[in-house]
Chains A and B, each alone.
Chain A
Amino acid sequence: MVAVVGNPNAGKSALFNALTGARQKVGNYPGVTVERHSGRLWLPDGRPVELVDLPGAYSLDPSSPDEAVTRDVVTGAQAGEALPDALIVVIDAANLDNHLRFTLQLIALGLPVVVALNMVDLATRDGLEIDPAILARALGVPVIPTIAVRKRGIDDLKEAVGRIVAGENIRVIAPGHGDPVDAFDMMLHQRRAREIAALAIVAEKPARQWTRRVDAVVLNPVAGPLILAALLFVMFQAVFSWSAAPVALIEGLQGWLSEGASALLPEGVVRSFFVDGVINGVGSVVVFLPQILILFLFILILEATGYMTRAAFLMDRLMARVGLSGSSFIPLLSSFACAIPGIMATRTIDDPKDRLTTILIAPLMTCSARLPVYAIIIAAFIPNDSVGPGIGLQGLVLFGLYVAGIAGALLAALVLRRTVAKGAAGSFMMEMPKYQLPTLRDIAIGLWIRAWIFLKRAGTIIFFTTIILWALLSFPQKPAEVPGTQSEYSVAGTISEGLHVIVAPIGFSQDIALALIPAMAAREVAVSALATTYAIDQSDEALVEQSLGERLQSRWSLPTALAFLAWFVFAPQCLSTIAVTRRETNGWRWPMFMLGYLFALAYLAAGATYWTATALGL
Chain B
Amino acid sequence: MRLHELPMNRPATIAAIAWGDLRETDARRLRELGFDEGVSVEKLHQAPLGRDPLAVRVGRMTVAIRRAHAAAVSVEVAA
A interface list, Cβ under 8 A from B: 58-59, 61, 63, 94-98, 126, 186-187, 190, 211-212, 215, 219, 221-222, 224-225, 309, 312-314, 316-318, 326, 350-351, 424, 427-432
Contact = CB atoms under 8 A, between A and B. Distances in A.
Given A427-B29, A429-B65, 16 more contacts: A98-B61, A215-B62, A219-B45, A221-B47, A313-B53, A316-B52, A316-B66, A317-B53, A428-B64, A428-B66, A429-B26, A429-B29, A429-B64, A429-B69, A432-B62, A432-B63
Indicate the size class of the contact surface on chain B. Answer: 20 to 34
B53 to A, nearest CB: 5
Interface string B23-48: 10110111111101000000011111
Contact of A431 (B31, B44, B53, B63): B63
24 contacts: A58-B32, A58-B33, A63-B28, A63-B32, A94-B60, A95-B61, A97-B34, A98-B34, A126-B60, A215-B55, A222-B48, A224-B48, A312-B64, A313-B55, A313-B64, A316-B53, A316-B64, A326-B53, A326-B64, A350-B29, A427-B26, A428-B64, A428-B66, A431-B33
B11 interface: no
Interface of B: 23, 25-26, 28-34, 36, 44-50, 52-53, 55, 59-66, 68-69
Residue picked from B23, B44, B45, most chain A C-beta under 10 Å: B45
A546 to B, nearest CB: 52
Contacts of B33: 58, 98, 429, 431
Given A215-B45, A313-B53, A317-B52, A430 B28 contact: no
Contacts of B29: 58, 63, 350, 427, 429
Given A221-B46, A317-B52, A326-B53, A430 B64 contact: yes
A51 B63 CA distance: 31
A429 B33 CA distance: 8
Contact of B47 (A187, A211, A313): A313
A370 B47 CA distance: 33
Nearest to A128: B60
A347 B62 CA distance: 22
Given A219-B45, A314-B47, A427 B69 contact: yes
A95 B62 CA distance: 10
A428 B63 CA distance: 10
A95 B61 CA distance: 7
